[in-house]
């Protein structure tokens, strides 16, 4: 259990031998974004994906496409 004042990265650094695969994911995802640019980029991509020709696309499908675009390298 990690106290509220504890450092999650320090805890994961100590526990990386126990959870090596999960550690690589956490190391990538456990960071603080100090700008709104990624959020604005996703809205821009949503506007490009959801055009006049694709106006009948379900929101769940759009969410999946945006998730894949944001998380695939």
**10-46 pLDDT tens trace:** 888 888 899 999 988 887 777 766 666 777 777 788 8
Residue 55 belongs to a domain: yes
Q: How far is CA 5 from CA 15, 53, 55, in A?
A: 18, 50, 47
What is the reported pLDDT for 24?
Answer: 86
Residue 17 belongs to a domain: no
- pTM of the predicted protein model: 0.40
Residue 64 belongs to a domain: yes
Residue 62 belongs to a domain: yes
What is the reported pLDDT for 18?
Answer: 92
The count of other CB atoms within 10 Å of the CB of residue 50 is: 17
Residue 3 belongs to a domain: no
Name all contacts of 49-57 with Cβ < 8 Å and 24+ positions apart: none
Domain count, the chain: 1
Chain mean position to CA 71? 6
């Amino acid at each position: 259990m990690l106290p509220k004042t504890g450092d999650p990265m320090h805890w994961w650094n100590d526990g990386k031998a126990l959870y090596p695969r999960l550690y690589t994911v956490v190391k990538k995802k456990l960071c603080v974004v100090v700008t709104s640019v990624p959020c604005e980029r996703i809205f821009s991509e949503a506007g490009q994906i959801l055009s006049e020709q694709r106006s009948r696309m379900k929101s769940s499908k759009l969410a999946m496409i945006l998730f894949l675009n944001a998380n695939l390298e």
